[in-house]
């Protein structure tokens, strides 16, 4: 991975990881369109680490607050009584499904699910689900984070399991069920980002450990550049989406997903993507 590839791939990862348009789909097709080929698992793990750091730093105060609330809830034996403790448990409960299913389907996640036709289908399928969710939410009185409950966390956590299939988009897979649960868009996005910290962090560190012998082949200069670019662009993406959804729906991302799916189908049918 040369410096130009590190910059481009880091930028692609950062801009698409948190916006509901599927970072995996973009990391698959952008290198191919530029004639670079598949960047490989080691490169993907390194680049994803940059966006994970962005989420941790952006929500650092929230993380500290929720950890404190979690332990206060344990000490008082009233885990859902205090706001911070309740929110911490909502993140934990929402994370359990993807951890359990991810371990159960690990072999398929690393092989079967990574086919380009599978990714293409999921890009379009989740766009359809998001569109239906938006139409449903438009007619409802939406709730904020303070009004979320355990049932919301379970449903959204199950929705996040779609992200195990590349092309789904982790944020799209969590914002969509949140809208079905009558949760407003900024809250859905914030909860999605909080859920991504343990899920993406755990998967990312596992992948980095597994691919540690191949990291040296990428070149340490390229590795550092990719992480920094992914961090900066990922941080900007979080900032943008949280503010954008205060006054907008997710329809612009839905339309983009339909267009992306159409382009991927065309590239696959013509043999440009294999």
Distance of CA 210 to the CA centre of its chain: 21
Distance CA(25)–CA(135), nearest Å, equals: 25
Secondary structure (3-state) at 152 = helix
Instruction: Answer yes or no: is 26 within a domain.
Output: yes
Burial class (CB in 10 A: 0-12, 13-18, 19+), 112: exposed
* Of the listed ranges 2-6, 94-98, 136-140, 208-212, the one predicted with least confidence: 208-212
Q: Which residues fall within 8 angstroms of residue 247, CB to CB, at 6 or more apart? A: none
User: What are 72-129's pLDDT values in tens digits?
Assistant: 998 888 888 888 999 999 999 999 999 999 888 888 877 778 788 999 999 999 999 9
pLDDT > 70 fraction of the chain, expressed in percent and rounded: 100
Instruction: Answer yes or no: is 180 within a domain.
Output: yes
41-45: average pLDDT: 74
Instruction: Answer yes or no: is 274 within a domain.
Output: no
Gyration radius of the chain's alpha carbons: 18
Range of the domain at 188: 3-269
Whether the per-residue pLDDT at 39 is higher than 80: the answer is: no
Q: Could you tell me what percentage of the chain is helix, strand and coil, using 3-state DSSP and rounding each to the nearest 5?
A: 80, 0, 20
User: What are 204-225's pLDDT values in tens digits?
Assistant: 787 777 777 777 777 888 889 9
Domain count within the chain: 1
Determine contact, residues 54/235, Cβ cutoff 8 Å: yes
DSSP code at position 77: T
Instruction: Answer yes or no: is 49 within a domain.
Output: yes
49-72: average pLDDT: 94
């Amino acid at each position: 991975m040369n410096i130009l590839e590190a910059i481009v791939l880091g930028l692609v990862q950062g801009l698409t990881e948190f916006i509901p348009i599927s970072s995996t789909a973009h990391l698959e097709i952008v290198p191919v369109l530029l004639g670079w080929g598949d960047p490989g698992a080691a490169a993907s793990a390194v680049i994803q680490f940059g966006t994970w750091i962005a989420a941790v730093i952006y929500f650092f105060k929230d993380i500290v607050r929720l950890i404190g609330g979690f332990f206060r809830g344990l000490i008082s034996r009233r885990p859902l009584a205090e706001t911070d403790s309740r929110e911490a448990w909502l993140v934990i409960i929402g994370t359990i499904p993807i951890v359990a299913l991810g371990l159960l389907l690990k072999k398929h996640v690393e092989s079967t699910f990574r086919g380009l036709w599978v990714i293409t289908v999921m890009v379009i399928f989740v766009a359809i689900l998001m569109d239906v969710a938006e139409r449903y939410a438009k007619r409802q009185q939406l709730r904020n984070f303070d009004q979320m409950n355990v049932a919301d966390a379970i449903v959204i956590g199950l929705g996040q399991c779609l992200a195990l299939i590349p092309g789904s988009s982790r944020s799209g897979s969590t914002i969509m069920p949140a809208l079905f649960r009558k949760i407003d868009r900024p809250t859905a996005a914030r909860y999605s980002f909080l859920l991504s910290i343990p899920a993406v962090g755990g998967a990312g560190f596992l992948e980095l450990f597994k691919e540690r012998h191949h990291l040296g082949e990428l070149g340490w200069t390229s590795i550092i550049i990719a992480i920094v670019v992914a961090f900066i662009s990922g941080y900007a993406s979080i900032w943008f989406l949280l503010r954008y959804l205060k006054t907008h729906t997710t329809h612009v991302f839905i339309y983009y997903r339909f267009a992306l799916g159409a382009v991927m189908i065309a590239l696959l049918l013509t043999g440009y993507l294999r």
